[in-house]
């Protein structure tokens, strides 16, 4: 638990907003030490990096480096499998006043998994994701939404122990082997697919990528690409997290 929390804390350092704030603190230290040149350059770097990551030009570039390897396919052309493995990350969690768990910007994952299931591509959905102590796991929350969307309860299997994508692969593979299944449709965001496929294949599973949640829009945006926005910053943050995460997983020997 402590190692997981530490890893999550350290991962904040790669996020544009966190890194920019950290650079701002460094600039303040430089200013207090009367190193005006260093303080000015650090502030410039902090604002420059935050601005760049907030533009659609940069956000789409980062997303494109991850998504282009996994283009979308028409559902009818997707090969059938033994099970659909639905990775977590599509939920904000239970809210104070809500009756259903709240969704986030990755909710396409849930929709795509249901579309594949209703198209007869697999008879089973494996919902993955653990949770913090005292709260419902992400897998349990997703099961509730899957049932609301028309998936029968007996067709949903929960993997509720995982804390990251590596755990998703390890624990899901254990469940699938117990059921005698090995061919899966893997549902996650397109930018997350490269790491996910490699991890599940490392567990000896036959993986058919079923990417969704593409970030780059087809239509022209109302605002010019150089104008910063929160949505672009969010997109850049996800892409940077994935690019760094892939290298970290390689360093740990998981890929």
Residues linked to residue 87 through DSSP beta bridges, in sequence order: none
Q: Is pLDDT of 2 > 50?
A: no
21-35, 42-56, 93-107, 167-181: segment of lowest average pLDDT: 93-107
Q: Give the domain ranges of the chain.
A: 7-54, 75-212
User: Which of the listed CATH numbers 3.40.50.300, 3.40.50.620, 3.65.10.10, 1.10.260.40 matches domain 75-212?
Assistant: 3.40.50.620
pLDDT in tens, 208-225: 999 999 998 877 777 787
String of DSSP letters for 164-225: SHHHHHHHHHHHHHHTT--EEEEEEEGGGHHHHHHHHHHTT-EEEEEEE---S-SSPPSS-T
| Residue 63 vs residues 195, 210, 238: alpha-carbon distances, Å | 14, 17, 8
* Burial classification of residue 76, based on how many CB atoms lie within 10 Å of its CB (0-12 exposed, 13-18 middle, 19 or more buried): exposed
Q: What is the pLDDT of residue 92?
A: 87
CB 139 within 8 A of CB 130: yes
CA trace torsion 114, 119, 124, 128 (10° rounding): -30
């Amino acid at each position: 638990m402590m190692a997981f929390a530490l890893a999550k804390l350290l991962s904040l350092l790669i996020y544009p907003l966190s890194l920019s704030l950290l650079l701002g603190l460094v600039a303040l230290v430089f200013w207090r030490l009367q190193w005006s040149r260093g303080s000015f350059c650090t502030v410039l770097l902090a604002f420059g990096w935050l601005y760049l990551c907030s533009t659609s030009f940069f956000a789409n570039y980062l997303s494109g480096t991850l998504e282009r390897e996994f283009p979308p396919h028409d559902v009818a052309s997707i090969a059938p499998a033994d099970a659909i493995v639905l990775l977590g990350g599509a939920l904000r969690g239970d809210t104070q006043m809500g009756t259903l768990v709240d969704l986030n910007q990755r909710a396409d994952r849930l929709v795509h998994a249901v579309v594949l299931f209703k198209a007869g591509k697999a008879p089973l959905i494996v919902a993955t994701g653990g949770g913090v102590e005292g709260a419902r796991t992400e897998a349990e929350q997703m099961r509730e939404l899957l049932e609301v969307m028309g998936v029968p309860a007996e067709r949903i299997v929960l993997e509720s122990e995982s804390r990251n994508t590596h755990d998703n692969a390890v624990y899901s593979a254990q469940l699938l082997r117990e059921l005698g299944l090995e061919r899966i449709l893997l549902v996650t965001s397109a930018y997350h697919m490269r790491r996910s496929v490699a991890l599940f294949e490392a567990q000896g599973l036959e993986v058919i990528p079923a990417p969704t949640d593409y970030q780059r829009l087809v239509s022209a945006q109302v605002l010019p690409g150089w104008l910063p926005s929160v949505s672009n910053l969010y997109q850049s943050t996800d892409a940077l997290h994935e690019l760094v995460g892939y290298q970290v997983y390689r360093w740990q020997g998981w890929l």
